[in-house]
Amino acid sequence: MNSETQPGSANLNTQADVAHEGTTQLPQVQEPRNPGTALDLDWVSSVQINTSAIERRAKTLPGRRSVKKEYQAAWLLKAISLIDLTTLSGDDTKGRVRRLCAKARQPLSAEIVKRLGVEPITTGAVCVYHEMIETAVKALKGSGIPVAAVSTGFPAGLSPFHLRVAEIEESVKAGAAEIDIVISRRHVLTGNWQALYDEMRTFRQACGNAHVKAILATGELGTLRNVVRASLVCMMAGADFIKTSTGKESVNATLPVSLVMIRAIRDYFDRTGFRVGYKPAGGISKAKDAVTYLTLIKDELGTRWLQPDLFRFGASSLLGDIERQLEHFATGRYSAAHRHAIG
Ligand SMILES: O=C[C@H](O)COP(=O)(O)O
């Protein structure tokens, strides 16, 4: 964020700024979910990637389209509404999850909201392990914020197949409206597209009405070509979202990976007419990175994809930095990062 940003709500006509920048809330259209298609192996094997061109383009993205100062707050408010506020730690407790849910309901202090002159907002969802679903559902009651659960032996996805399917069913029963499954990386690494398709189809079926996000764990797929091929197969098998990472791989969301996944989503839409959502996850913790992702989405997919049914950030600490930047925008002061600790 630009440290010269002037404080005060007088400079921020959020609705107009957001509309100008094309991040405005569109009327929620009830679109059919992606039902998937037959497995099209010709399409999968025809994928070609110019890795150096993708990497060159990705390098130009941060700062390339610097959002004008007066629009930055509007973009950051939009980013908040698209966060799957996440806690996925071995030491998660009910208390931590309740605090996280309180933060999801009210991500900004009443004072900042008042100074910015905006309507109160919420995050897109709260994302937890199965054991914490009930607590999260209770804590979010009445807010309209969905609970997402990671599933299928997250993060490695190597537990027995029937248990992975049962885990999805249990999480849906416990109240999760969204299920983030992990794919079997070995199916990608061995080019077993039929196995990946069948696995994803079964997971989708087990989700019932809950939406399913397919975590590719891109940092473990070896090449960008594999990332695109896995993206296509998961969409063909009916994924509602494709998601980069668990946050536990040594390489998580990156811009080159995002570029090829977003373009796979565009190709899939062009061929089938079905929109699939995108969720970069893992290591996105700075407000300025969030804005880079959002402008990339706007450029490559258009504003329809800047709604919570088609875009989410998977992030545990991004909200804290955004809050700090918005506080600075509203008051002219930066507070210490620890004042914005989450959970
Ligand atoms: O899906 C979400 C990720 O696990 C969050 O990763 P993070 O803790 O690096 O933000």
pLDDT, residue 148, reads 98
Inter-CA distances, 120 with 80, 99, 112, 139, 341, Å: 11, 18, 10, 18, 20
Please state the pTM of the whole predicted model: 0.91
Sequence-ordered list of residues with C-beta below 8 angstroms from that of 31, at least 6 positions apart, any chain: 275, 309
Gap between the Cα atoms of 24 and 119, Å rounded: 13
Domain count, the chain: 1
What's the domain range around 248?
9-23+36-334
User: Is 108 part of a structural domain of the chain?
Assistant: yes
Torsion over CA: 258, 145, 273, 188 (sign):
positive
Catalytic annotation, pick one of 78, 213, 243, 298: 243
314 pocket-lining for ligand 1 (C-beta < 6 Å): yes
Q: Which residue among the candidates 279, 289, 309, 321 is catalytic per the annotation? A: 279
Residue 88 corresponds to which tokens in the numbers above? Answer: 């996925």
Model ipTM value: 0.97
Separation of 171 CA from ligand 1 center, angstroms?
20
The reply to whether 137 falls in a domain is yes
Q: 98 CA to middle of ligand 1, Å?
A: 18
Flag whether 75 is in a domain. Answer: yes
86 pocket-lining for ligand 1 (C-beta < 6 Å): yes
Q: Is 68 a known active-site residue? A: no
Instruction: Establish whether residue 308 lines the binding site of ligand 1, counting it when its CB lies within 6 angstroms of any ligand atom.
Output: no
Please check whether residue 256 lies inside any domain of the structure. Answer: yes
pLDDT at 225: 98
Q: Is 198 assigned a catalytic role?
A: no
At residue 6, the pLDDT reads: 34
pLDDT value at residue 196:
98
Query: What tens-digit pLDDT sequence spans the chain (343 residues)?
Result: 433 333 333 344 444 344 345 444 444 567 899 999 999 999 999 999 999 999 999 999 987 656 776 789 999 999 999 999 999 999 999 999 999 999 999 999 999 999 999 999 999 999 999 999 999 999 999 999 999 999 999 999 999 999 999 999 999 999 999 999 999 999 999 999 999 999 999 999 999 999 999 999 999 999 999 999 999 999 999 999 999 999 999 999 999 999 999 999 999 999 999 999 999 999 999 999 999 999 999 999 999 999 999 999 999 999 999 999 999 999 888 876 666 666 5
* Interval between CA 315 and ligand 1 midpoint (Å): 4
Answer yes or no: is 237 within a domain. yes
141 is annotated as an active-site residue: no
User: Cα(283) to centroid of ligand 1, in Å?
Assistant: 6
Report if residue 95 sits inside a domain.
Answer: yes
Residue 254's CB is within 10 A of a number of other CB atoms, namely: 18
**Domain containing residue 140: CATH number:** 3.20.20.70
- Residue 247 included in any domain: yes
Whether residue 340 lies inside any domain: the answer is no
What is the dihedral angle through the alpha carbons of 246, 252, 253, 259, rounded to the nearest 10 degrees? -110
Closest CA to 187 of 148, 158, 146, 152: 158
Nearest ligand 1 atom, CA 88: 4
Residue ranges of E strands in the chain: 83-86, 125-128, 147-151, 178-182, 211-215, 241-243, 277-279, 313-315
Instruction: Answer yes or no: are the C-beta atoms of 317 and 342 closer than 8 Å.
Output: yes
